[in-house]
Amino acid sequence: MLWIHPLLQILATLLAVYVLFLGFRRFQTLHLGRKTVFAWKLHVRLGLVALALWLVGMAGGLITAARTWPGFLITGAHAYIGLFIGLLAVVGLATGLYMDRVKKKRTALPLIHGLNNLLALVLAVAQVFTGMWVYNHFVLGN
């Protein structure tokens, strides 16, 4: 059971890297003056999946920790960073869905959306290291 959470989060993070690549094309057009083709619908669909997977994985991690150990926040930084990623994922979903539903030329909101999700991705990569600490400390007992 303990393998589901990291597997789901790694999958979500790898997907988020691809979504970042898609979003970077939009950034190039809006802020660097380069002509690119932005796969809007693919970016929205896959971004929705990646952010939702992070949220589901976060919930799964909290549930798994609470059922396996005496509390769900005992994993320290791993738990707190995960909760912050959850907040960033909600912001990413809200801003992304808003821009998808209310289409118009804008520069600030896409930048905020992108920076928010880039921070979530950087923290998700950091979670690999905090997760290895959790595994060593709580699973292996080292």
* 15-36 per-position pLDDT tens digit: 999 999 999 998 898 888 899 9
pLDDT at 58: 94
Name the token pair of 70: 């005496």
Q: Which of 16, 6, 10, 11 is nearest to 134 (CA)?
A: 6
Q: Taking 90 as the threshold, does the pLDDT of residue 84 lie above it?
A: yes
Q: Is the dihedral of CA 27, 30, 55, 18 positive or negative?
A: negative
Give pLDDT, residue 141. 87
User: What average pLDDT is seen over the chain?
Assistant: 94
Q: In angstroms, rounded to a whole number, what is the distance separating the alpha carbons of residues 73 and 106? A: 39
Indicate if the pLDDT at residue 3 is higher than 90.
no
Phi, psi torsion values for 37, nearest 5 degrees: -100, 120
pLDDT in tens, 98-120: 999 999 999 899 999 999 999 99
